[in-house]
Amino acid sequence: MTNAMIIFNASMKLMKEGIIGTTGRKMIMETADGSKIEVMEPEAIHTFAAWKSLGYQVKRGEKNIAAITIWKAGKGKQEQINEEDQDGENSNIRMFLKTAFFFKASQCERIAG
């Protein structure tokens, strides 16, 4: 499962629990049996670093709304990182699971500048 799918599933669960709200938009999803259902789209959640890259900062004193285990690329020795296989891909990069802390938009403010 990709990080996007992990975060989306966690967002849906947080929305059902009332921890986060919705964007006001509706989505049509296909269930495992092939039927389609209409659901509300959950509001965006991001990590501290992701909000910062979007031009926002988490307000002082805010606590994370969720701790979600996502995939992270591991770094090895520099010689291993620089080696590439025939396909041009780094074959020595390892993926591991790491807990990341997420915040919702109402916990953030635009960075002045």
Residue extents of the structural domains in the chain? 3-110
Among the listed residues 73, 72, 95, 91, the one whose alpha carbon sits nearest the alpha carbon of residue 82: 91
Q: Write the CA distances from 35 to 28, 31, 39, integer angstroms.
A: 10, 5, 13
Q: Residue 76: its pLDDT value, please?
A: 61
Give the global pTM.
0.80
**110 has pLDDT over 50:** yes
Percent of the chain clearing pLDDT 70 (strictly above): 86
**77 has pLDDT over 60:** no
Structure tokens at 95: 């993926």
Q: What is the pLDDT of residues 21-43, one digit of tens each?
A: 999 999 999 999 999 999 999 99
Higher pLDDT, 74 or 19: 19
Main-chain phi, psi angles of 7, to 5 degrees: -70, -40
